Amino acid sequence: MLTFLCSLPILWQIGLLISVLLGGFKAYLWYTLGVCTSTKKLTGKTVIITGANTGIGKETAIDLAKRGARVILACRDPKKAAIAKDDIIRESGNKNVVIRQLDLASLKSVRKFAADILKSELRLDVLINNAGCATIEKTLTEDGLEYQMQSNHFGHFLLTNLLLGLLKKSAPSRIIHVSSMAHAFTKTLDLNNLNSELSYDTGTVYYYSKLSQALCTRHLAPLVFNSGVTVNCLHPGAVQTEIFRNAPSWFQMIAAITFPLFFKSAKEGAQTTIHLAVADEVANVTGEYFSDCKIAKTSKLAKDAGLAKKLWEVSETLVKLKPEERHY
């Protein structure tokens, strides 16, 4: 066998080697893929999913709608949301799917969204902070915060705080942050540079925003555990979605070739979120970081309780949370 292989032309040998390595890597990805196996129904339960019009959020919405939940699609673009809603209803057979407008890059919009929910919903069982963006040029929002930081972290931070009272009232309930393993790509979190006041790097801003979600998960979890609310965060995997839509075109070209080979589909990427939303086995698990439906290791920084507390306080100030809006 070996002599036969060695007798092949060198290019064939290289080709074969690459195929074996690729195949092995694919097999490894398939083997480690986490799938939610819970058959739990969500009849009578209400779920909010931010950024539910595409990607991981949309697949999460389809799955939870199939389980019978009332699914609230928190989306910024009403047109995109309407198309997604039709798809979700068609694929799940559940008509209890509604759209509520939410632009996380505007604190006013977050406040309006939360006020609408508190007025119209009797309960909230699962809040899924899924929306996110990456690779965007430095932009400040109308609130003077950095755009990616606000979309990924500050907006969800305010939203979570404003809905906490309803979540507590509906306990047992769950808060889920779609973070990322990219939280570990930064070795520092400079609280004086949260909004790129001192320097700007689009990658670092993304890492900061995902680390902030992990830190706030850790900080909030013990504060609300006795009220029957759990808070967890997760890495969905490397998933083929629109997340790189703002990346440079050379990146898009490489992505178009390589992503189908190695990345999860959006449905596969939604599994850990779904697991955290429904599985009985995580009913009492809180303050954790998951990947492939299992607890995973975070960076050392994400475990820094002192930093988490400081970030929480700075975030409260920056989103102008009023003392009477604290529900923990």
Ligand X SMILES: *[C@@H]1O[C@H](CO)[C@@H](O)[C@H](O)[C@H]1NC(C)=O
Ligand Y SMILES: NC(=O)c1ccc[n+]([C@@H]2O[C@H](COP(=O)([O-])OP(=O)(O)OC[C@H]3O[C@@H](n4cnc5c(N)ncnc54)[C@H](OP(=O)(O)O)[C@@H]3O)[C@@H](O)[C@H]2O)c1
Site residues for ligand X per CB under 6 A: 280, 283-284
Q: Which residues of 219-251 are buried (b: 16+ CB within 10 A; e: fewer)?
A: bbbebbeebbbbbbbbbbbebbbebeeeeeeee
Does position 61 interact with ligand Y (CB under 6 A)? The reply is: no
Burial class (CB in 10 A: 0-12, 13-18, 19+), 316: middle
Q: Which of 34, 45, 53, 218 binds ligand Y (CB under 6 A)?
A: 53
Name the active-site residue from 147, 206, 208, 289: 206
| Shortest reach from residue 272's CB to ligand X, in Å | 18
Helix (H, G, I), strand (E, B) or coil at 99: strand
Q: Indicate the SS3 state at residue 146.
A: strand
Contacting residue, 42, 51, 175, 271, with ligand Y by CB under 6 A: 51
In whole angstroms, how far apart are CA 121 and each of 43, 70, 98, 305?
Answer: 15, 10, 12, 34
Instruction: Among 73, 104, 176, 205, indicate the residue that binds ligand Y (CB under 6 A).
Output: 104
C-beta of 186: minimal distance to ligand Y in Å?
A: 15
- The residue type of 302 is A
Residue with tokens 């539910």: 52
Write the CA distances from 38 to 42, 64, 122, 138, 270, integer angstroms: 11, 12, 26, 41, 14
Neighbours of 172 (CB within 10 A): 12
The residue within the footprint of ligand Y, chosen from 47, 64, 102, 319 (CB under 6 A), is 102
Kindly tell me which residue out of 130, 186, 272, 291 binds ligand Y, with binding defined by CB under 6 A: 130
Cβ neighbours for 235, distance < 8 A, ≥ 6 positions apart: 179, 180, 181, 272, 289, 290, 291, 296
Residue (294 or 309) nearer to ligand Y, CB: 294
Annotated catalytic residue 206 = yes
**Residue 34 interacts with which of ligand X, ligand Y, none, CB < 5 to 8 Å by class:** none
Residues 43, 289: Cα–Cα separation, whole Å: 27
* CB neighbours of residue 322 within 10 Å: 8
Is the CB of 14 or the CB of 283 nearer to ligand X?
A: 283
- Smallest distance from the beta carbon of 40 to ligand X, in angstroms? 12
Q: How far is the CB of 138 from ligand X (least distance, A)?
A: 45
53/160 with CB nearer ligand Y: 53
Query: Exposed, middle or buried: residue 33 (CB in 10 Å: 0-12, 13-18, 19+)?
Result: middle
Among ligand Y, ligand X, none, residue 283 binds (CB under 5-8 Å by kind): ligand X
Residue 212 interacts with ligand Y (CB under 6 A): yes or no: no
Which of ligand Y, ligand X, none does residue 105 bind to, with CB < 5 to 8 Å depending on kind?
ligand Y
For residue 76, the partner it binds in ligand Y, ligand X, none, with Cβ less than 5 to 8 A by kind, is ligand Y
- Binding-site partner at residue 275 among ligand X, ligand Y, none, CB < 5 to 8 Å by type: none
**Which of these ranges, 19-27, 36-44, 47-55, 306-314, lies near ligand Y under the rule CB under 6 A?**
47-55
The entry of ligand Y, ligand X, none near residue 280 (CB within 5 to 8 angstroms by kind) is ligand X
Half-sphere exposure of 68 (CA within 13 A, CB side): 8
In single-letter form, the type of residue at position 141 comes to T
Interacting residues with ligand Y (CB under 6 A): 50-51, 53-57, 76-77, 80, 102-105, 130-133, 151, 178, 180, 235-236, 238-239, 241-243
Active-site residue set: 206
